[in-house]
A and B are shown apart, each in its own frame.
Chain A
């Protein structure tokens, strides 16, 4: 989880965050919103609906690059859309050098390797459905809410992982440095991608060392950009790689193939429901992003999804046809299967369900949220657990 709980001074108790949460992961404790780690998928909805910007993002820090002998920063395609022209992009890359990074790595190249392998994989795929796995938020939602669909996830690596793995290896060979002397930093355009690194969250299985939220460095980056000219930098983005960060990118590479493209958690939920009922017949591949227009709509970016998308099209015109040519084995990701639940526990779960149902029927069903929980069902569960009492329902209290 990368969205921190709330600044008490900012909260007006409007409950917009609680109502917006697609996972019911947020409830109020002592009149302040609290996010449950085990349920949060980092979609960032709470963050964006809050009228007072009360939530904070957990991010690693740029200064940690001083702890390494050699450092790289990985720049996602969506971040390039924040700059009006190549001169600004060059200045941005130059600024990262000034801020202490030895290498500025453009992720479009690594995106291209994945796109290039994904297209033939989708074409050859024989089973029922294939779901995109590039959006960590959607992937987490599938694990939580649609565990039966996990085997349908396309086994493609995150570009940041691919880049980190290849870069580290190359640097070790070139410089003779040890693994831990090289620091790989990833710039993140959304809350979910902050999870794809060892820090800030201690996800030690990732090759990326630090994930940095774009919004946390805007002041220092802009200041540094004013002091540099960027003339020594070379920008050569990959066309195919750019497509990775827009919602219909894969579609544009496979025009003769029907793909369903969705770009919000709500729409993804609708589609996944249909997939579970096997009601989707026109398409096999479903590409899903949590953010509007795909990664270019990342919630931590400086500008809005719509103009970012337009800017990406501008960049696309001048981008090159270069592609990183890797084999499928090099870009594959292990999709961890879900553990099947123990059927012997079914009786226990049934009893629990019936108990919650019985309490739920006693509650008014307004889902008003005044008790601090997003809906009456949630409150019923809390009562069944013994954490709350039925008298804690505000509507009931008012009537009595």
Chain B
């Protein structure tokens, strides 16, 4: 598994939300990821990036590729309050997004649900220190 690139996410940077996902999308395009997979990865990446911006105090997004097994992995590692009840967070429509986040059109409570829907591997751990989300996509 090769680390392709790593990006820093700044908390509350609503106005630039999606910039990192755009970069990751461009890299995957360059690497020849098929368009149907690209769309799924992009959607997941965007949702997770937004989650980090809204809920965490910042963190990193890393892109890995396992070319032997044809897998793309995205790791989202943040510092922050964590998700107290992951099961609850996976319920469609459940959201703890702030008023400000909602003003920007985020916080519909579909973030994690959508990420799980489009990914092939989904692993999330969370504590009061932060959240680690690992998603994988079979090419």
- Residues in chain A within 8 A of chain B (CB atoms): 147-149, 273, 276-279, 338, 340-343, 345-347, 349-350, 353-354, 357
**Which residues of the other chain, A, contact B21 by a CB distance below 8 angstroms?**
277
User: Known: A277-B18, A340-B34, A353-B4. Contact between A346 and B67, CB under 8 A?
Assistant: yes
Question: Are B27 and A353 in contact, with the CB atoms below 8 A?
Answer: yes
Question: Are B34 and A343 in contact, with the CB atoms below 8 A?
Answer: yes
**Which residues of the other chain, B, contact A276 by a CB distance below 8 angstroms?**
25, 38-39, 42
User: Known: A276-B39, A277-B46. Contact between A341 and B22, CB under 8 A?
Assistant: no
CB contacts under 8 Å to A, within B1-48, are 2, 4-5, 18, 21-22, 25, 27, 29-32, 34-36, 38-39, 42-43, 46
User: Known: A148-B39, A343-B70, A354-B4. Contact between A273 and B31, CB under 8 A?
Assistant: no
CB contacts under 8 Å to A, within B104-123, are none
Question: Are B5 and A278 in contact, with the CB atoms below 8 A?
Answer: no
**Which residues of the other chain, B, contact A279 by a CB distance below 8 angstroms?**
18, 46
Question: Are B43 and A347 in contact, with the CB atoms below 8 A?
Answer: no
Interface size class of B (residues with CB under 8 A): 20 to 34
**Which residues of the other chain, B, contact A345 by a CB distance below 8 angstroms?**
32
Asked whether B89 is an interface residue with its Cβ less than 8 Å from the other chain, the reply is no
CB distance from B57 to the nearest CB of A (A): 24
Residue of A nearest to B25 (CB): A276
Q: 23 A-B residue contacts at CB 8 Å?
A: A148-B35, A148-B38, A148-B39, A273-B22, A277-B21, A277-B43, A279-B46, A338-B35, A341-B32, A341-B34, A342-B32, A343-B32, A343-B70, A346-B32, A346-B65, A346-B70, A346-B139, A349-B32, A350-B4, A350-B67, A353-B4, A353-B27, A353-B31
Residue of A nearest to B49 (CB): A277
**Which residues of the other chain, B, contact A277 by a CB distance below 8 angstroms?**
18, 21, 25, 42-43, 46
- For the complex, give the distance between the alpha carbons of A149 and B36 in Å: 10
CB distance from B2 to the nearest CB of A (A): 6
**Which residues of the other chain, B, contact A340 by a CB distance below 8 angstroms?**
34-35
- For the complex, give the distance between the alpha carbons of A346 and B72 in Å: 11
CB distance from B29 to the nearest CB of A (A): 7
**Which residues of the other chain, A, contact B42 by a CB distance below 8 angstroms?**
276-277
CB distance from B131 to the nearest CB of A (A): 21
